[in-house]
């Protein structure tokens, strides 16, 4: 059995966390993600861009209180990729408990 492949788009710590946070939600506000990850706007924006580029995340820009706000959500492909990534991680880590 070949080693399961870890998805480089998802593996990066910040993106792994973004995906994990989005998994149980329908969507999350940009600001919320930024606070959860404790990163700057630019860093979060760039990571989200990569996820969007991979087709894993979708954005919804809406106006609230007269201001523009961005919400992010996992696409079906994103949910699938995250699930597969976690499965791969578990297979790799499972060797640790005695192959």
For the window 16-55, what string marks contact with DNA as x by the rule CB under 7 A? -------------xxx-------xxxxx-xxxxxx-----
Q: Of 47 and 98, which has the nearer Cβ to DNA?
A: 47
- Among 59, 84, 86, 88, indicate the residue that binds DNA (CB under 7 A): 59
CA distances from 59 to 2, 4, 26, 74, 84 (A): 35, 29, 12, 9, 22
DSSP state letter for 96: G
Cα distance between residue 13 and residue 39, in whole Å: 12
Q: What is the contact surface with DNA in residues (CB under 7 A)? A: 8, 12-14, 29-31, 39-43, 45-50, 59, 61, 63, 66-70
């Amino acid at each position: 059995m070949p080693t399961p492949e870890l998805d480089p788009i998802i593996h990066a710590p910040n993106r792994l966390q973004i995906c994990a946070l989005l998994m149980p939600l329908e969507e999350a506000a940009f600001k919320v993600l930024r606070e959860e990850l404790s990163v700057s706007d630019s860093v979060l924006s760039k990571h989200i861009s990569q996820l969007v580029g991979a087709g894993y995340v979708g954005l919804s820009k809406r106006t609230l209180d007269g201001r523009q706000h961005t919400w992010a959500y996992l696409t079906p492909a994103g949910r699938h990729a995250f699930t597969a990534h976690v499965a791969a991680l578990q297979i790799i880590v499972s060797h640790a408990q005695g192959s």
